[in-house]
Structure formats: C-alpha cells, structure tokens
Amino acid sequence: MDAAAIHRDSIIIDAVAPLLDRKHYVDAYISGSATCVAPTIASGTDTPEFALKAIGGWLRFIRSRQDLRPVLKASDIEKAKRAGQMGILFHFQGTGPFKTDLDLTEAFQALGVRMVQLTYNRKDYVGDGCEEEFDGGLSKFGKNLVRRLNENKIIVDCTHTGYRTTMDALALTTQPAVFSHSNSASIFPSRRNIQDDQARAAAATGGLVGVTAVPQFVVPANGGPARPSLHDLIAHIDHFVSLVGIDHVALGLDYWWGTLPFSDISTVIREWEYYVGIGDWDPAAYPRPPHYNPPEIDTPEMLLGLTKGLLRRGYTEDHVRKVLGLNWLRVFREVWGE
C-alpha cells in the first residue's frame, strides 16, 4: 500500500488539539483524515464553572454535526472510523477545574472527560509544574486525585508537570498513564521536554508518550523563530521508540493557531504576552513568536505528510499505524474498556 492508502485506512488520533478552541478548525482535522482529536476543554487556571460551560458548548456542537461523535470508550473511535466520522475526546490540560473537590471527578467523568493533565507548568493543588524551580512532588490532594482518576477510568496525563511530581504519579497509578504531548529532553533539553526515565516510567504503566509538533519543543529557537523540519520531529519519535518500544509512542501534535502560516503575528504576540504575564509561559521555554511548524505538516489538513515521513524513515506499515493511532487506542481500551 502507498502512503495515501495507509493514511486513509489508519485510525489517526491526535490526543492534544488546543487549536479547537476555535471550533471551525474541526474541518481542518477532518480534511487531514483524523479519526479522533482531543480539544483542550479546560486548563490549569480554569474554574469548574468554566469547564462545565465548555463541555456544554462542545456537546451542543457535536450534536449539530453528523460527522462528529463523542468519545466515551475505545469502540467509539472504531465506530467513528467505520461511519466516516471524527471522534471528539474531552481532555483537561491541568486540574484547575477540580479546585480541591475530589467529587468533581465523578461529575466530569459523567460528562465525558476522559483524560486529565495534572498541572499546566505551574504549581497547583496537585503538585508542581515543569517550570517551577522547586518540585515537591504530588501533594496529598494530588495522590487522592490520581486514585480517583484511576477509579473513574480517566487517563492520568503527566505532560507540563514537574519531574518528581510525574514520577510520584507514575509510581502510584494503577492504570496506564501518559505524557500526551512531550518531546525528548535528551534531544533538546527544554524544561517542557521529558527525561528518559520519565518516558520509561510511563511505558512501564502500560502507557505512552505522545510526541508534539510545537516548534519550540522540537528544536531550540536560538534567538529567532524555531523552524523544525519533519526530520527533526521524527527524531523525537525515533528516540522514544528506541527507548521504550514501538507500542508506547504516539501523537499529541498540539496544533495551536499561533503557529499556523496564516496567523496574524501581532495577535499571536499579544496572546504570548498574556500567557507570559499571568505566569503560564516562561520565555525560556516559550520564546517570543513567531515559530513555524514543520512545513510538511504545517496544518492539520497536511497530516498525510507525517505518514509519508515515517515511511521514508523506514517504519513499517504496522509500526506507522501504531504511531498514528493504534497505540492510543490500546491505552484507551485498557483504561476505559470497550
């Protein structure tokens, strides 16, 4: 089979899609043949009320479209593929929506939340983010939240989270846990990238590492725009495959509108200044825009470029299918069930 046929027939899962804050970009992922994408429903500083409204908005939007399906269990993704639909997976990038109320775990699970990231760069009630100077590990509340996430079959996501906090969570979890969108610190030592033992610990739970295409986490900006090639991005996939095996590497591409080729740079810079100002982004890890996606996958419509790149790199058809989506599907099935 050629690349286009493999891409068309594969289950393709991008488990991190903050671009979908602007819901009209759903059509870009559909054009790129995505089977399931995970919009960021809420983040680290968001409230329970914000999360509830965001979930309601997404449920209404999904019902308005025949080509979308909510993802509550693994088989929903397979059904979406057979029906020519795209699945929508609810993901929190941070635990702000929980505040300190563990019972909200059951509430969010009932509303369809299926993956929760422990922190977003900064310290929260759960533990320390990856940009904190000091990492004290999981708090008592954080340990209890990990247990409740496990009980409710919600995937524990360690991305954006400090080293010790992640290692505490990975030692505690009884379900497969993930780094949904993290690259290798061995290749590029950004504070947002992860160490080899973190990747091994996630794989040991049965989980995986989702590689991100965010330019400034693929290659250093070196005082100017980060301009990674597809080769640079696949180098992170290669590293994790060699480290933890082909069954534990997947995609969390993390497309953001600010790196799309037609974005207004003045607006991008204002948004960057906002997140730097509130402390979510440290300029050392999030240098000033602009930055540019690998040209072969500049936008979600171009996801075929990644399939072509993996095949050129020497990955077999079966291995390409695993990275594109089957590894996520396995984790989803193990945590959520059929």
* pLDDT per position as a tens digit, 286-312: 999 999 999 999 999 999 999 999 999
What whole-number distance in Å separates Cα of residue 290 and Cα of residue 298?
14
Residues 6+ apart with CB under 8 A from 239: 184, 186, 187
DSSP strands (E only) in the chain: 13-14, 36-37, 40-43, 68-70, 86-88, 90-93, 113-117, 155-157, 178-179, 208-211, 249-251
- pLDDT tens digits, 22-44: 999 999 999 999 999 999 999 99
Average pLDDT over residues 82-106: 98
- pLDDT tens digits, 222-233: 889 999 999 999
Q: Quick one: pLDDT at residue 46?
A: 96
Sign of CA dihedral 11, 15, 16, 18: positive
Question: What is the DSSP pairing of strand 90-93 with strand 113-117?
Answer: parallel
DSSP strands (E only) in 21-129: 36-37, 40-43, 68-70, 86-88, 90-93, 113-117
Q: For residue 117, count CB atoms less than 10 angstroms from its CB and return exposed for 0-12, middle for 13-18, buried for 19 or more.
A: buried
Average pLDDT over residues 95-124: 98
Q: Percent of the chain having pLDDT more than 70? A: 100
- pLDDT tens digits, 145-184: 999 999 999 999 999 999 999 999 999 999 999 999 999 9
Query: Are the CB atoms for 210 and 183 separated by under 8 Å?
Result: no
Query: What is the overall mean pLDDT for the chain?
Result: 97
Tokens 């960057």 sit on residue: 272
Domain boundaries, the chain: 3-336
Average pLDDT over residues 97-111: 98
CATH of 3-336, one of 3.40.50.1580, 3.40.50.720, 3.20.20.140, 3.40.50.300: 3.20.20.140
What whole-number distance in Å separates Cα of residue 338 and Cα of residue 331?
11
* DSSP, res 98: G
What whole-number distance in Å separates Cα of residue 333 and Cα of residue 76?
10
CA atoms within 13 A on the CB side of 139: 15
φ, ψ at 11 (rounded to 5°): -80, 120
- pLDDT tens digits, 207-217: 999 999 999 99
What whole-number distance in Å separates Cα of residue 70 and Cα of residue 58?
9
Using CA atoms in the order 202, 255, 114, 43, what is the torsion angle rounded to 10 degrees? 100
Residue 15 has pLDDT above 80, yes or no: yes
Q: Quick one: pLDDT at residue 53?
A: 98
Residue 338 has pLDDT above 90, yes or no: no
Q: For residue 115, count CB atoms less than 10 angstroms from its CB and return exposed for 0-12, middle for 13-18, buried for 19 or more.
A: buried
Q: Percent of the chain having pLDDT more than 90? A: 97
- pLDDT tens digits, 134-144: 999 999 999 99
Task: Name which of 191, 202, 203 is nearest 161 in CA terms.
Answer: 191
Q: 57 is written with which tokens?
A: 């908005």
Residue 58 has pLDDT above 80, yes or no: yes
Residue 1 has pLDDT above 90, yes or no: no
